[in-house]
Amino acid sequence: MTRKPFICGNWKLNHGLVETQAVLRAMAAEASTYSSVELAIAPVTPLLAAAAQVLQGSALGLAAQNVHHQDKGAFTGEWACHHLSELNVGYAIVGHSERRQYFGETSAAVGQKVRACLDNNLVPIACIGESLQEREAGQIWDVLKNQMDPITAAVQPDEAHRLVVAYEPVWAIGTGKTASAAQAQEVHAQLRSWLAGAFGEDVAERVRLQYGGSVKPSNALELLSEKDVDGALVGGASLQADTFLGIAAAAFELA
């Protein structure tokens, strides 16, 4: 089964208003060139409304870097899925390793956020990944399974095709180190096997699996050539239009 490649840029805590508008305009001007690839950018949350205005009518989608699982309530500093929908945001990144590491986000909370996204017609980009210490200790499969279980438990088989899972080894995020294409494929193949166990093989074949961790134009083609690598969640290389679109071009070449 052919899965549409999906490249999403995560700007983290970078770019102010003027630079956000300028970079998005440059990206949007070229996005339709890569029509067989799904593209999205996640700017800083306070600039989502301004970003939505820039991207209106373009082929470049808009993502949020986080979301709360409740619709409303006494949750100072948070925002709900319906707030994102009102801004024409189509995706939400949940469970990023930086959220887990710096803000104490648990795997159970990630499952709740996945459920909230699906209930509000947002595409959840659910992140998982092991640390270097966990990999070297031979704990990679236990760690990833423990992160995956609440995600699959939150999803019904008939909606699982809307889920995106992003494998981001913590040791490769912002370090310049990248998992080899073979390492990425090994993990992605195991993820698809777990998805098949949860939802059945036919459904599992429809779920897109992104790789994240120092993805750039120079290594994107090799990574995306792997059978079960369906796209990329891109950090630093998504901050400028030329490098992000370079990754999009690699995906387009393979699509």
Q: Please check whether residue 85 lies inside any domain of the structure.
A: yes
Give dist(CA 229, CA 212) in Å, integer.
Answer: 10
| pTM attached to this predicted model | 0.97
Give dist(CA 192, CA 177) in Å, integer.
Answer: 24
Q: Specify the CATH number for the domain of residue 25.
A: 3.20.20.70
Q: Please check whether residue 58 lies inside any domain of the structure.
A: yes
Residue span of the structural domain in which 127 resides: 6-254
Domain count, the chain: 1
Q: pLDDT digit of tens for each residue in the chain (255 aa)?
A: 589 999 999 999 999 999 999 999 999 999 999 999 999 999 999 999 999 999 999 999 999 999 999 999 999 999 999 999 999 999 999 999 999 999 999 999 999 999 999 999 999 999 999 998 999 899 999 999 999 999 999 999 999 999 999 999 998 877 777 789 999 999 999 999 999 999 999 999 999 999 999 899 999 999 999 999 999 999 999 999 999 999 999 999 998
Residue positions annotated with a catalytic role: 96, 168
Q: Please check whether residue 89 lies inside any domain of the structure.
A: yes
Q: Please check whether residue 87 lies inside any domain of the structure.
A: yes
Q: Please check whether residue 1 lies inside any domain of the structure.
A: no
| Cβ contacts of 78 within 8 Å, gap of 6 or more | 68, 70
